[in-house]
Every structure is written in C-alpha cells, then in structure tokens.
Amino acid sequence: MKKKIWIPLLILVILVFVTLVIVQKKRDARPFNHYEFPSTLVINNYTDYRADTLSLYLANKILNLDTLNLTIVYIPDVINDGEMEFYGIVQMLPFEKNQFIMLLSKKKLSLGKLKETISHEFVHIDQYISRDLIVYPGYAMFKGDSIVFKEVKYEDRPFEKDAFKRQDQFKKELEKLLY
C-alpha cells in the first residue's frame, strides 16, 4: 500500500522540478533591455559569460560610474584547487583610476549565480573606489581597520560581510534594469 503512495508523489516531485528548470531557462533566455553606455566604460570579457553586459549595467546604472576599465577572465585553476572555491574575485589595478580585473569561476555558473557573483564583486569595486577597501600583499585596510588575511577567515572579514550584505540589493536593482 505504501509503495502506491510514493510512486505518484515521486512523479509529482519530478514534474515540479522539471517545470521549475524549464521556467528558469525561459526566464534566463529573455532579452535584456538596451541602454546606451559611455564609451569610457570599457569592459573586456574573455569568458563565455554575459559578464560584460551585467558589468556595464552595474557600473553605470547602479554605481553611477562614467569611467571604468574592467577586464574579466577565468580564475586560474591554481587558485581554486584549495579547500575554498571562489566564484569571483576582483582586484583594483594600480595603473590608473578605476582599473580592475575580475576573475570568474570556470565552472558553468547559471545566469542567477552569475548575477549574484558579479553583484558581490561590484560591491568590492564600490569599496575600492570609495577607498573604504585597500588591499596590500597579505593584508587589507577596510574603513581604517587592518585585516591580516592569515588571521581572519574569509567569511569573517568585514569587507566580505559588507559585500554579502549589499550584494542582494545590487542584484535586485540589476534585475529591474535588465528586464
């Protein structure tokens, strides 16, 4: 008797899961709204992701930046072969104002995860530009406090806590702009 109850329930769960996957794929396939961006926003994307488009929206429409030079590449395998896996990393380059490199995971990120990851990294870009975050070899300064990387776990670093706290708002604003 119990077997007869589980079979329809299992079929229902599978149907719901398949439906959710199909709905998400249709949502991800929607075209983005079109905006004009300043030519001084330069995004060089060397990944298969639509990271350049998302970055333009975040930079110009959310952070109100007119000038940015961002290069997007994959995270080298050597960085993601340890005990912690990164989906994204961003670093300010010292050459000129508002120059950054963003590294993204080689693992296939869904569009939702990509939006979340890039939103998180753009919080860091905002921290860099406001000079709240300054990173040095082995340590960082965040809002005047020194954080030694070896002494503070990733999730306990105040600039990461700030990024995780603010990334959802960036992602929500991005969603409104995109569709």
DSSP string, 95-132: SSTTEEEEEE-SS---HHHHHHHHHHHHHHHHHHHTTS
Query: Quick check: is 12 in a domain?
Result: no
Residue 117 has pLDDT above 70, yes or no: yes
**Cα distance between residue 99 and residue 126, in whole Å:** 12
Query: Quick check: is 125 in a domain?
Result: yes
Query: Quick check: is 1 in a domain?
Result: no
Provide the whole-model pTM. 0.83
Q: How many domains does the chain have?
A: 1
Quote the pLDDT of residue 164.
Answer: 97
Query: Quick check: is 8 in a domain?
Result: no
Quote the pLDDT of residue 3.
Answer: 59
Query: Quick check: is 105 in a domain?
Result: yes
Which residues are CB-contacts of 12 (< 8 A; sequence separation ≥ 6)? none
Query: Quick check: is 22 in a domain?
Result: no
Does the CA dihedral 144-146-149-153 come out positive or negative? negative
Domain extent for 66: 30-178
Query: Quick check: is 11 in a domain?
Result: no
**Cα distance between residue 65 and residue 21, in whole Å:** 35
Percent of the chain topping pLDDT 70: 95
Query: Quick check: is 140 in a domain?
Result: yes
Residue 174 has pLDDT above 90, yes or no: yes
**Cα distance between residue 121 and residue 88, in whole Å:** 7
